[in-house]
Amino acid sequence: MTAPFDVNDDSVVVIIGTGAGGGTLANELAQKGISVVALEAGGRHLPQDYLNDEWPSFSQLAWTDMRTTSGDWRVAKDFANLPAWIVKAVGGSTVHWAGASLRLQDHEFRAKTHYGEVDGANLLDWPVTLAELEPYYDKAEDKMGVTRTNGIEGLPGNNNFKVLKAGADKMGYKDCHSGRMAINSVERDGRPACRQLGFCFQGCKMGAKWSTAYTEIPKGELTGNLEVRENAHVLMVNHDDTGKVTGVVYQDADGNQIEQKARVVCVAGNSIESPRILLNSASSMFADGLANSSGQVGKNYMRHMTGSVYGVFEKPVNMYRGTTMAGIITDESRHDPSRGFVGGYEMETLSLGVPFMAAFLNPGGWGREFTAAMDMYENMAGMWLVGEDMPQESNGVTLSDAKDQFGMPVANVHFDDHPNDIAMRNHAYKQGMALYDSVGATQTYPTPPYPSTHNMGTLRMSTDASDGVVNGFGQSHDIANLFVSDGSQFTTGGAENPTLTIVSLAIRQADYIAQQMTEKSI
């Protein structure tokens, strides 16, 4: 029933990318009867194709096209061409994601108001409030089947969670549970319950975890209003001399460059590719790239303050058995400057298999200290620390001198930690290590951030057109029929994993686009 649209059909909405933002938006628009062409750089992989094997799965799904890095973050040294862990496939990073689905807190939408001036930080309040977004959070949680919402029970806690919970109790933390997870604890929406495979990061072979690849996309296709073109790598967005966007140029699997005409273009390639596309679309009319009158395209890149702590115990934990991230402590996510930093962080269970542990525990490390840790793999518990990082104008995506396989300049990702990020990470390490110590850890390992899984802020929302790239609906300030539909819109990052908010914004944006189309404003 997939709708085939003509490349010259200029009545369609073109969406670039089919991940959390693009995939959701595509289905929402299709459900409303709007014609959509979604262009996806990667191929289509479904649960039967996923591999319970870390490296082969990474090769199958991850974005490994060239990128470069700079800045003082350790990723630039250890993984110079892999700044971020992002999926290139239909479904985007929702194929690899862990499913943790949290709402941002009220004060996090108004970071500038609550945190005040922070030196070196480019803080701003969102043009959207929690109250405005709440009805859409409700819809997103229902759509994604988030546990502990809509009467859906929590997932059973695995071994890794049991250790976290025991430590939380010892530490006096009050809010610790097996998470709000977009993973079925019971059969729902035609998808089975989780069987605790432990390969959530490799694509859920059960289909128990929500991913646009096998929920939103096929639902949209069933309406007959959505065409997904896979292996269609977008190079740039075209515009006319009135300054409206008119279509998108992509290269297909056979190497043909094709222009798909469009009435509306929505960019949802994740926070590194989305600004890159707009920068690569520079023209004589828009010399600095599309939608860039503010100069903020590609700026204010955020990746969340992250780090991990692994604790070693006298007895086996087997943390890798079962759901990768179904466990959370939210007590530290409050804004409490008495800890020496603004904003807060979450503590979430995390496990890696042996292949990834070897690559990420201490990149570059070797010798007995390293292997002593690996030798205790079986007795390890793990947690991920994820908190709000400061938007800084100097952090971001620019065009590199290096070119990709299509001859287009690749993204350089620059990142320096803000002192607030460092203070928060040190606090989080201390608490995480104390937690494992409180349940008898014989060793703890404060582990550095991995290549970024949460990428945000490079095309941010702002009330004032001079401060950001898009308005509260993700519509660009400069070009009315150009939208941003992914995590790039985030004005600030909050402490919470971003995807539930990306999905909620996409549902809300679909309503707005439909209304604007009806009113003929776009």
Ligand X SMILES: Cc1cc2nc3c(=O)[nH]c(=O)nc-3n(C[C@H](O)[C@H](O)[C@H](O)COP(=O)(O)OP(=O)(O)OC[C@H]3O[C@@H](n4cnc5c(N)ncnc54)[C@H](O)[C@@H]3O)c2cc1C
Q: Binding to ligand X by residue 487, rule CB under 6 A? A: yes
How, if at all, do strands 245-251 and 257-261 pair? antiparallel
* Residue among 354, 397, 5, 321 at smallest CA distance from 161: 321
Q: Are 179 and 325 in contact (CB under 8 A)?
A: yes
DSSP string over 12-77 = SEEEE--SHHHHHHHHHHHHTT--EEEE-SSB---GGG--SSHHHHHHHHB--S--EEESSSTHHH
Q: Does 204 bind ligand SF4 (CB under 6 A)?
A: yes
Q: How far is the CB of 91 from another protein (least distance, A)?
A: 18
Question: Which string of DSSP letters, residue by residue, matches 194-216?
Answer: P---S-GGG--TTS-B--TTTTH
The C-alpha atoms of residue 204 and residue 51 are separated, in whole angstroms, by 9
From candidates 26, 29, 86, 208, binder to ligand X by CB under 6 A? 86
The verdict on 214 binding ligand SF4 (CB under 6 A) reads: no
The string of DSSP codes covering 135-169 is HHHHHHHHHHT-TTSTTPPPPPP-HHHHHHHHHHH
CB of 203 to ligand X, least distance (A): 10
HSE on the CB side for 252, CA within 13 Å? 10
Smallest separation, CB 437 to ligand X (Å)? 26
| 252 CB-contact burial (10 Å; exposed 0-12 / middle 13-18 / buried 19+) | middle
Closest CA to 459 of 241, 277, 283, 284: 277
If residue 239 lies in a helix (H) or strand (E), which one and from where to where?
strand 233-239
442 near another protein, judged by CB under 8 A: no
Rounded distance between C-alpha atoms, residue 307 and residue 422, angstroms: 11
Single out the residue of 342, 277, 356 nearest to residue 495, CA to CA. Answer: 342
State the Cα angle at 153 between 147 and 159, rounded to 5°: 85
Residue 228 binding ligand SF4, by CB under 6 A: no
> Which residue from 3, 235, 249, 359 is in contact with another protein, where contact means CB under 8 A?
359
**Which residues, other chains included, contact 17 with Cβ-Cβ below 8 Å and sequence gap of 6+?**
38, 39, 40, 41, 92, 267, 268, 269, 270, 273, 274, 485, 486
Q: Which of residues 502, 505, 510, 513 is near ligand X by CB under 6 A? A: 502
Work out how close the CB of 302 gets to ligand X at its nearest, in angstroms, rounded to a whole number: 11
* List of E strands, 252-317: 257-261, 264-267, 305-312
Q: Which does 293 bind (CB under 5 to 8 A by kind): another protein, ligand SF4, ligand X, none?
A: none
State yes or no: residue 323 binds ligand SF4 (CB under 6 A).
yes
Q: Among residue numbers 311 through 350, which ones bind ligand X (CB under 6 A)?
A: 325
Rounded to an integer, what distance in angstroms lies between the CA atom of residue 266 and that of residue 103? 24
Could you say whether residue 215 binds another protein (CB under 8 A)?
Answer: no
Which range touches ligand X (CB under 6 A), out of 84-92, 220-228, 312-320, 467-475?
A: 84-92
Residue 261 touches ligand X, criterion: CB under 6 A:
no
Instruction: Please name the residues in contact with 113: beta carbons below 8 A apart, sequence gap of 6 or more.
Output: 125
- The least CB distance from residue 350 to another protein, in Å, is 15
3-state SS class at 100? strand
Tell me: does residue 209 bind ligand SF4 (CB under 6 A).
yes
Q: Which of 117, 131, 287, 368 binds another protein (CB under 8 A)?
A: 368
In terms of phi and psi (left: phi > 0; alpha: psi -120 to 50; beta: otherwise), the region of 282 is: beta
Is 377 among the residues that bind another protein (CB under 8 A)? yes
Task: State the binding partner of 273 from ligand SF4, ligand X, another protein, none, CB within 5 to 8 A by kind.
Answer: ligand X
One residue of 497, 508, 510, 517 binding ligand X per CB under 6 A? 497
Sketch the per residue contact string, 303 through 322, with ligand SF4: x for CB under 6 A, - otherwise. -------------------x
Residues in binding contact with ligand SF4, number by CB under 6 A? 14
Q: Using the rule CB under 6 A, is 247 a contact of ligand X?
A: no
Neighbours of 417 (CB within 10 A): 21
From 82, 124, 206, 248, residue interacting with ligand SF4 (rule: CB under 6 A): 206
Q: Whole-number minimum distance, CB 337 to ligand X, in Å?
A: 26
Binding mask 32-51 for another protein (x = CB under 8 A): -------------------x
For residue 84, the minimal CB distance to another protein (Å) is 12
Of 5, 12, 14, 17, the one binding ligand X by CB under 6 A: 17
User: Is residue 397 close enough to count as binding ligand X by CB under 6 A?
Assistant: no
Provide the 8-state DSSP code for 317: -
Question: Which residues here bind ligand X, judged by CB under 6 A?
Answer: 16-22, 39-42, 85-89, 92-94, 96-100, 201, 233-234, 268-270, 273, 277, 325, 453-454, 486-487, 497-499, 502
Question: Which residues here bind another protein, judged by CB under 8 A?
Answer: 51-53, 55-56, 58-59, 64, 66, 68-70, 76-82, 156-159, 161-163, 165-166, 194-199, 205-206, 313-318, 320-322, 353-355, 357-359, 363-364, 366-368, 370-371, 374-375, 377-378, 400-402, 412, 439
Question: Which residues here bind ligand SF4, judged by CB under 6 A?
Answer: 183, 194-200, 204, 206, 208-209, 322-323
